[in-house]
Structure 1
Amino acid sequence: MVDLSQYLPILLFLAVALGLSSAFVFLPMLVGRLTGAHKPDPEKLSEYECGFPAFEDPRSQFDVRFYLVAILFIIFDLEAAFLYPWSVSLAEIGWAGWTTMMVFIFELVLGLVYAWKKGALDWE
C-alpha cells in the first residue's frame, strides 16, 4: 500500500499558492467594485497609451528584424544565465565542465557570426 501522507506538504503548498494567487487576482477587483472605483465612462475607456486614437491597424505586421533581435537577445541572455552558475561551480566540475562550457560558447559564437553574416544585426 502506498503512503500518501508524504504528498501532504506538496498539496498544502499548492493549496496556499492557489489561494494567494486567486486573492491577488480577485481581491483588487472586488475592492474596486465595492469602493466605487469601477465607473466606466467614455473618458476612462479612451486610449491612454499615447493620448490619441490609433491611426493604423494595430495588427499590422512587424519587420522580421524585430524578431531576430529579440531572439538574439534571448539567446545571449540565457548564455549569461548559464555562465554564472558555471563559474561558481567551476572548481567542482573540473576540466570536463570547462570543456563543455567552451563548446557551448563556441556554438553561440558560431550563431553570432552566422547572424552577423546574414545581416540580422544591421539596422537601418
Structure 2
Amino acid sequence: MFLMLTLTLLTLLISTLVMLISSFLAKKSITDREKNSPYECGFDPKGSARLPFSLRFFLIAVIFLIFDVEITLLLPVAPTFNLTNTLAWFLTSTSFLLILLLGLYYEWKMGALNWSN
C-alpha cells in the first residue's frame, strides 16, 4: 500500500515538474509585428484576417457533431443483442432511440434546423 502511494506521488511530482519546465521553456518573449500578422505572399494584408463567421452554420455543425457522437454510441447496440437478455436489450435501445428522437424533435420545433432564417 505504501509502495503504491509512493509511486503515485512520484508520478504526479514528475509529471507536474515536466509540465512546469515545458511551460517556462515554451514561452515566447519576443513579439514581432510581422510574425503576428497574417502572411499574404509577403505583402501587407488587404483586409482583416478575421472574417465574420455564420452563427447559423456553427449551430448546424454542432448539432451534426452531437448526432455523430450519438451514432457512435448506437453502434455497439447491434452486436450485444446475442449477449444480453432480449427484453433488457429492447428496452434499453428503445429508450435511447426515443431520447434521441425527442431531442431531434425539440431542435426541429425550436428552429435550430432551419437554415433560411
> Which category describes the TM-score, using the shorter chain as reference length?
0.5 to 0.7
The amino acid of 1:15's aligned partner reads L
Higher relative contact order (CA 8 A, sep 6+): 2
Structure 2 residue 103 is matched with structure 1 residue 111: yes
Aligned to 2:74: 83
**Preserved CA contact (<8 Å) 1:69 1:120:** yes
Provide the C-alpha distance between the structure 2 equivalents of 1:19 and 1:88, rounded to a whole number of angstroms.
Answer: 45
| RMSD of aligned residue pairs (Cα, Å) | 3.8
In terms of fraction of residues, the more helix-rich structure is 1
Could you tell me the percent identity over the aligned residues?
Answer: 33
Aligned to 1:101: 93
Equivalences for residues 1-124 of structure 1 within 5 A: 3-29=1-27, 39-47=30-38, 51-52=45-46, 54=48, 63=55, 65-66=56-57, 68-95=59-86, 96-124=88-116
Shift in CA distance, 42/27, structure 1 to aligned 2, threshold 3 Å? closer
**Preserved CA contact (<8 Å) 2:81 2:89:** yes
Provide the C-alpha distance between the structure 1 equivalents of 2:18 and 2:81, rounded to a whole number of angstroms.
Answer: 39
Shift in CA distance, 74/53, structure 1 to aligned 2, threshold 3 Å? same
Shift in CA distance, 98/11, structure 1 to aligned 2, threshold 3 Å? farther
